[in-house]
């Protein structure tokens, strides 16, 4: 492959992707030294926005604020048990993820939803994402969930590979509706969990991305 893709790359044709797995026998990844987990506390909204913006989830603070208001503003009372940050020993918040649910009400399965996983750009590659995901997934059974779902998209294909590494698989309906998206991920990751998908060509991978928050709305 001649093109080097970023871990959040808007050149990749956009497809919504949805994965699932049960919450038994979850893998555990310890944090590297110098970091620890903390839960959301009042006033952390801007920390969340800045992390997500740094990870290229948003192009502006205003867009991040809109997302916060859409997903979390009306539920801040439950975030101290659900929204997790990785913090440095100097008190700097550098990554976040949330054990949440489908805010649209369309998912009737009762699954927990892993929401808005992000590591600040300057802390990526330091081994933080898998400990973060592991920690938040392990919160879910304590919140009463036995099954988990994760929304993502082809433009964040590296994150998708991490979820596959955790044993998540495409939800069958999504594997049909977004089959070409999974073919793109197959080509970019060559992940063994996607053996049943044909690889996508470079022409199929490259396309005009659609900037939209809808995948998170499904989450």
Residue 1: its pLDDT value, please? 54
pLDDT of residue 127: 96
Query: Is residue 208 very low, low, confident or very high in pLDDT (cuts 50, 70, 90)?
Result: low
Retrieve residue 189's tokens: 């990751």
Contact 204, 180 (CB under 8 A): yes
pLDDT at site 216: 43
pTM value is 0.90
Handedness of CA 13, 6, 130, 187 (dihedral sign): positive
pLDDT of 122 over the 90 cut: yes
Positive or negative: CA dihedral 25, 189, 87, 212: negative
pLDDT at 104 over 90: no
The average pLDDT across 191-204 equals 95
Which element (helix H / strand E) includes 203?
Answer: helix 202-205
State the average pLDDT over residues 73-89: 96
What pLDDT digit, counting tens, does each position of 151-182 carry? 999 999 999 999 999 999 999 999 999 999 99
The whole-number average pLDDT for the span 146-154 is: 96
Nearest alpha-carbon partner for 218 in 189, 180, 187, 177: 177
**Mean pLDDT of the 117-135 span:** 96
Other beta carbons within 10 angstroms of residue 173's beta carbon come to: 9
In the three-class reduction of DSSP (H, G, I as helix; E, B as strand; rest coil), residue 107 is classed as: coil
Give the helix ranges, DSSP H, for the chain. 45-54, 61-71, 129-139, 157-165, 172-177, 179-189, 202-205, 214-217
The predicted pLDDT at position 219 comes to 33
pLDDT at position 70 over 80: yes
Tokens of 10: 């808007």
Q: What is the pLDDT of residues 5-26, one digit of tens each?
A: 998 999 999 999 999 999 999 9
Please write the tens of the pLDDT for every residue from 38-67. 999 999 999 999 999 999 999 999 999 999
> Would the pLDDT of 206 be above 90?
yes
DSSP 89: T
DSSP string, 57-75: S-SSHHHHHHHHHHHTGGG
pLDDT of residue 172: 96
5 CB contacts (<8 Å, ≥6 apart)?
A: 11, 12, 157, 188
In sequence order, what are the residues at sequence separation of 6 or more whose Cβ sits closer than 8 angstroms to the Cβ of residue 143?
81, 82, 99, 112
The average confidence (pLDDT) of the chain is 92
Q: Tell whether the model's pLDDT for residue 217 goes beyond 50.
A: no
d(CA 182, CA 154): 8
Q: What is the CA 79 to chain-centroid distance, rounded?
A: 17
């Amino acid at each position: 492959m001649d093109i080097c893709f970023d871990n959040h790359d808007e050149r990749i044709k956009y497809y919504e992707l949805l994965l699932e797995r049960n919450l038994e026998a979850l893998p555990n990844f310890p944090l590297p030294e110098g970091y620890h987990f903390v839960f959301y506390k009042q006033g952390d909204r801007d920390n969340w926005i800045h992390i997500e913006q740094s990870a290229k989830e948003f192009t502006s603070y205003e867009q991040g604020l809109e997302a916060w208001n859409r997903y979390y503003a009306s539920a801040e009372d439950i975030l101290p048990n659900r929204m997790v940050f990785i913090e440095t020993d100097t008190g700097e918040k550098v990554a976040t993820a949330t054990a949440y649910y489908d805010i649209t009400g369309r998912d009737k399965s009762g699954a927990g939803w892993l929401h808005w996983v992000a590591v600040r750009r300057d802390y990526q590659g330091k081994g933080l994402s898998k400990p973060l995901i592991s920690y938040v997934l392990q919160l879910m059974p304590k919140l009463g969930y036995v099954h988990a779902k994760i929304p993502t998209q082809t433009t964040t294909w590296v994150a998708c590979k991490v979820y596959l590494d955790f044993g998540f698989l495409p939800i069958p309906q999504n594997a049909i509706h977004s089959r070409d998206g999974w073919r793109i991920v197959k080509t970019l990751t060559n992940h063994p969990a996607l053996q049943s998908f044909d690889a996508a060509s470079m022409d199929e991978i490259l396309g005009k991305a659609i900037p939209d928050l809808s995948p998170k709305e499904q989450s």
